[in-house]
Structure 1
Amino acid sequence: MKKTYVKGLAAVLLMAVAGPVLADNAGPSMTDKPTEAASQMPLGEQVYTTTCQECHMPNAMGAEGAGRYPALAKNPKLAAKQYPMVMVVNGSKAMPSFARQLDADEIAAVVNYVRTHFGNNYKDKVTAAEVKAVLPKTGPYEGH
Structure 2
Amino acid sequence: MRYLTIPLFLALSAPVAAQEDNSQVDAGRRALASTTEKFTDSDGAELYRRACSGCHGAEGEGAYGAGKYPALAANPRLSHARYPVNLILEGNGAMPAFDEWLDDAQVAAVVSYLQTNLGNEYDGDITAEEVKRMRAEFADLEEG
CA contact (8 A) 1:90 1:97 kept: yes
Percent same amino acid among aligned pairs? 42
- TM-score in terms of structure 1 length: 0.65
Which residue in 1 is equivalent to 2:50?
50
CA–CA distance in structure 2, aligned partners of residues 94 and 70 of structure 1? 11
CA–CA distance in structure 1, aligned partners of residues 75 and 108 of structure 2? 18
Which residue in 2 is equivalent to 1:31?
36
Task: Structure 1 unaligned segments of length 5 or more: list them.
Answer: 1-28, 139-144
CA contact (8 A) 2:43 2:106 kept: yes
The alignment status of 1:103 with 2:108, answered yes or no, reads no
Inter-CA distance 135–55: structure 2 relative to 1 (3 Å threshold): same
Which residue in 2 is equivalent to 1:61?
61
Aligned residues: 104
CA contact (8 A) 2:60 2:73 kept: yes
Q: Which of the two has higher C-alpha Rg?
A: 1
More helix by share: 2
CA–CA distance in structure 2, aligned partners of residues 115 and 61 of structure 1? 14
Deviations 1:31-55 (A, max 9, x none): 2798xxxx7xx70001001111011
Task: Structure 2 unaligned segments of length 5 or more: list them.
Answer: 1-33, 140-144
Counterpart amino acid of 2:44? Answer: G
CA RMSD of aligned residues (A): 2.2
Structure 1 residue runs of 4 or more that deviate by more than 4 Å after TM superposition? none
- TM-score in terms of structure 2 length: 0.65
Shift of residue 135, structure 1, vs aligned partner: 1.8
The alignment status of 1:115 with 2:106, answered yes or no, reads no
CA–CA distance in structure 1, aligned partners of residues 103 and 47 of structure 2? 11
